[in-house]
Amino acid sequence: MATKLQPVRGTHDLIGEGFRRHHRVIETARRVSALWGFEEWATPIFEDTRVFSRGLGETSDVVSKEMYSFQDRGGEGITLRPEMTAGICRALVSNGLAQSVPLKVFAAGPVFRYERPQAGRQRQFHQIDLEILGSAEPLADAEVIACGWHIQRELGISEGVTLEVNTLGDTPSREGYRSALIAYFTAHRDALSEDSQRRLEKNPLRIIDSKDAKDRALVADAPTIEAFLTDEARAHWDALRRHLDAFGVPFGENPRIVRGLDYYSHTAFEFVTDRLGAQGTVMGGGRYNGLVEEMGGPATPSVGWGAGVERLAMLLEAGGLTPLAPRLVHVIPVSAAEEEEALRVAGALREAGIATEMGHKGNLKRRMERANKAGARAAVILGESEVARGIAQLRDLDAGTQEEVALDGLAARLAR
């Protein structure tokens, strides 16, 4: 035997219960988002590298050190998508849809980041994603958040999850705030953690979000964005909170939410939980008003979120909400002589919409064992005398009871 090949670091197979949880998350999101008028798109899982380098910001961690980038055989610079939003904006422009806005888009699929794996963090993982493209109204922000909240409710996991919202302001607000933060932290540079001294150069906003105890003491007295908001930014922020109330979505304000991707402005939010270890964000996003322009389209103010399917699935598991496997009916010929008739019976049941299995070999005992192990709900047993009389033994595998049923009445009997 050849040596066993291992799965690539940070990748996982989805099988059995794991697949069912994963599928439940995506199906629920698909159904609820459709209810809210979102239309599903599927864009490529790899794009021209520039889609992400331009879109997410060259200095962001995702772009600078986490992308799976390579040259294809034609020499093109290609990147496996590390998130969904940039590709969706590119698709909007490529398909000439920028003039058909607003558009409400749902998407789901794999994304890739070269990171150190950890609980709730993989190199290939899956996201569900919701975007409203081409609406500057705070109502759009609230709608996207509210729909996300309803997806979580529908999944049954909203108990342990809380919504935190913040405003990053518009560009003038943020510029002013940024300068004030740099001034403040530079004055206390030596008291900052090593990480935060580095952040001071790269992304001072992130210091606000530091977990370091020393940093937090400083952050407590740091300026807040409140004082730097323009009238417009303040109006957006006020309206968002009013609309969330109107949608009936509970939320808290958290000025420490800054988000890692450069394209956000105004609204930033996260649904967080303490049930997943260090990776507490289960759904996160915000408003991005410049991204479509980066893709070569017209100014298209937009808002959206991405959510980790694996993380949501972990919450399903923790909540004992793993979907049950479907229970089939097993058709069992007693001997080879009844095999063809059994095949016909199985076919008729499937035709009637009843999930049916029929094994490829084995005697009655063996097939009964198989049916039991597979969690079948019933066994339809066909022997010589049954076939001769046009009936089957229908055995209820839970109750252990057995009755004779005419073959032409089987489907109706099993449907109820």
* Minimum distance of RNA from residue 96's CB (angstroms): 27
Pick the binder of RNA from 74, 75, 248, 400 (CB under 7 A): 400
Residue 115 as a binder of RNA (CB under 7 A): the answer is yes
Residue 176 as a binder of RNA (CB under 7 A): the answer is no
What phi and psi, each to the nearest 5 degrees, are found at residue 349? -65, -45
Pick the binder of RNA from 69, 197, 254, 279 (CB under 7 A): 279
Q: How far apart are CA 4 and CA 162, in angstroms?
A: 43
Residue 283 as a binder of RNA (CB under 7 A): the answer is yes
Q: How far apart are CA 209 and CA 198, in angstroms?
A: 14
Residue 395 as a binder of RNA (CB under 7 A): the answer is yes
Residue type, 307: A
Residue 267 as a binder of RNA (CB under 7 A): the answer is no
* Minimum distance of RNA from residue 99's CB (angstroms): 28
Residue 131 as a binder of RNA (CB under 7 A): the answer is no
Pick the binder of RNA from 398, 403, 408, 415 (CB under 7 A): 398
Q: Which of residues 177-206 bind RNA (CB under 7 A)?
A: 195, 199, 206
* Minimum distance of RNA from residue 141's CB (angstroms): 16
* Minimum distance of RNA from residue 345's CB (angstroms): 13
Contacts of 139 (CB under 8 A, 6+ apart): 239, 243
Residues 236 and 138 sit within 8 Å (Cβ to Cβ):
yes
Residues 215 and 200 sit within 8 Å (Cβ to Cβ):
no
Residue 369 as a binder of RNA (CB under 7 A): the answer is yes
* Minimum distance of RNA from residue 73's CB (angstroms): 25
Residue type, 56: L
**Counting beta carbons within 10 angstroms of the beta carbon of residue 130, is it exposed (0 to 12), middle (13 to 18) or buried (19 or more)?**
buried
Pick the binder of RNA from 73, 211, 360, 416 (CB under 7 A): 211
Pick the binder of RNA from 10, 110, 156, 319 (CB under 7 A): 10
**Counting beta carbons within 10 angstroms of the beta carbon of residue 269, is it exposed (0 to 12), middle (13 to 18) or buried (19 or more)?**
buried
Residue 212 as a binder of RNA (CB under 7 A): the answer is yes
**Counting beta carbons within 10 angstroms of the beta carbon of residue 167, is it exposed (0 to 12), middle (13 to 18) or buried (19 or more)?**
buried
* Minimum distance of RNA from residue 114's CB (angstroms): 8
Among 106, 107, 104, 124, smallest CA distance to 115 is for 124
Q: Which of residues 39-98 bind RNA (CB under 7 A)?
A: 60-62, 66, 83
Residue 232 as a binder of RNA (CB under 7 A): the answer is no
Number of H helices and number of E strands within the chain? 15, 16
State which residue, 248 or 400, has the beta carbon closest to RNA. Answer: 400
Residue 339 as a binder of RNA (CB under 7 A): the answer is no
Residue 109 as a binder of RNA (CB under 7 A): the answer is no
Question: Of all helices (H) and strands (E), which one includes residue 396?
Answer: strand 391-396
Angle between helices 17-35 and 309-318 (to 10 degrees): 110
Q: How far apart are CA 372 and CA 114, in angstroms?
A: 43
State which residue, 42 or 213, has the beta carbon closest to RNA. Answer: 213
Q: How far apart are CA 236 and CA 139, in angstroms?
A: 9
* Minimum distance of RNA from residue 200's CB (angstroms): 11
Q: Which of residues 306-325 bind RNA (CB under 7 A)?
A: 306-308, 310-311
- List helix spans (H) across 125-170: 138-155
Stretch that binds RNA, among 46-54, 155-163, 232-240, 281-289 (CB under 7 A): 281-289
Binding-site ranges for RNA (CB under 7 A): 3, 6-11, 60-62, 66, 83, 113, 115-122, 125, 127, 195, 199, 206, 209-212, 259-261, 270, 277-284, 306-308, 310-311, 334, 363-366, 368-369, 371-373, 379, 381, 383-386, 393, 395, 397-400, 402
